[in-house]
Structure formats: C-alpha cells, structure tokens
Homo-oligomer: A and B are copies of this chain.
Amino acid sequence: MKTKESKIPEATIKRLSTYINCLERLQVEKHPVISSEMLGEYCQVSPAQIRKDLSYFGEFGVRGVGYDTKKLEAEIKEILGLNYNWPTTVVGVGKLGLALLNFTLFSQHGFSITAAFDNEPGKIGTELAGGIIIQPTSAIEDTVRDRGILIGVITTPADAAQKVADQLVAGGIQGLLNFAPTKVKVPEEITLRNVSITSELDNLAYLMTQKKKTRRR
C-alpha cells in the first residue's frame, strides 16, 4: 500500500482505530456493504472526514456503491500494522492490569498477551485466563527476550514504573504503553505512549470549570 505522504496526522490514526471498531460492529450487525454516510453515522465522524482520512493511504470502496465492510476493516488494519501479531506483556497485575489482560479488544486488534508480571509474592505463580502465569518482575528481561515480546504495557504504581521500563527495554521491547501516573524515560528508538486516566479526568474537570465560569459572566 502506497502512502501519499509519510506524515499522517495523529488524529487520522486515532480515527482509523475508531473505524475498525465501527466496522466490527457493522459486521456483527450483518452489513456487508456500507456507504461512507453510514460509516460516518456509526463512528460520529463526517463522511467527508472519513474519505479524507482514507485518501492518505490510497483508493478504497467503489464510487456509488460503498465499502466492503470486511475488506475495509482488513485494509485499515494493514495500514495500522495490526495484521501483524504483536506479542505483548502487561507489567503490574493490579485492577487496571487485570482489566487490560482480559480486554478482548486487544486480541481483535492484533495484540496477543504472552506474559504478565507482578512483584507481589501472593500473585506470582497465579494462572490467568488464557493460561498466562504471573511471573516475578525479576524475570522481565529474560522472558521478553526469550518470547520475542515487542510491546510492554505498564500498569504499576508510579514509583515502580521507571525500573520496569528499564527492564523491558533491556529485554528488547520496542513499544511501551505507560498507564502509571508518572512519565518514564526510554531510549529514543523505543516508541512510547503515555495514557493518564487521571489527566483525562482533570481535563474534564478543567473544561467543566471553564464552562461554569463562562455561564456566570
């Protein structure tokens, strides 16, 4: 697949991810072919935006007919690199870690959880759904290397996050998704995304406070 330019807006990538989720629902609801209007309705995105987002990557669908739901999903997954199977590990099996380990959308998007780590003695050795056994964090580096794990999801408390990131990097991880409420430092060649749930809530509170002030004026 040829891309028109190498610099695709992050918002476009985010929407492509939304389109996948919508296309999956549309297949479950037995829509083999859809128009960009209908996809737009499902995804809460304008049809023009959908066409623009897809145009970065080539030609999709048939004019006057629409998109083949299943084919478009596969094509978007190819664009995002999701047809590849990404061996993934979750470090920190607290409540959030456990929620992510059981997140069925992960596997639908090509992320296969192949290891889980925690440093709580009571958790180590516990078997999770899917047969994964919780290992001690001291085993991170070797396990990541031996199993060729490429993506690490960090769901530890803040004070453990940097050490865990270092161990993952030492094992050869290539991408990190950090949910710990702190930033971590990694070498430049590692792809890092920070997800802060409290920062989303804080932002919500800030926007609501601003609206309240505006209304008062």
Contacts and interface: CB of A to CB of B under 8 A. Distances in A.
Contacts of A117: none
A93 to B, nearest CB: 11
A147 B197 CA distance: 24
A14 B199 contact: yes
Given A181-B105, A183-B44, A189-B211, A205 B18 contact: no
Contact of A199 (B17, B102, B176, B182): B17
Interface stretch (A64-72, A77-85, A135-143): A77-85
A48 interface: no
A97 B198 CA distance: 14
Q: In terms of DSSP, what is the predominant structure of the interface of chain A?
A: helix
A51 to B, nearest CB: 18
A175 B207 CA distance: 9
A198 B99 contact: no
A205 B102 contact: no
Number of copies: 2
Nearest to A174: B208
A203 B44 contact: no
Interface string A74-94: 000001111010100000001
Count class of interface residues, chain A: 35 or more
A43 B183 contact: yes
A198 B21 contact: yes
A207 B96 CA distance: 24
A84 B159 contact: no
Nearest to A184: B44
A193 B22 CA distance: 18
Nearest to A192: B204
Contact of A207 (B82, B95, B191): B191
A34 interface: no
Interface in A184-202: 184-185, 189, 191, 193, 195-202
A197 B106 CA distance: 9
B183 A18 contact: yes
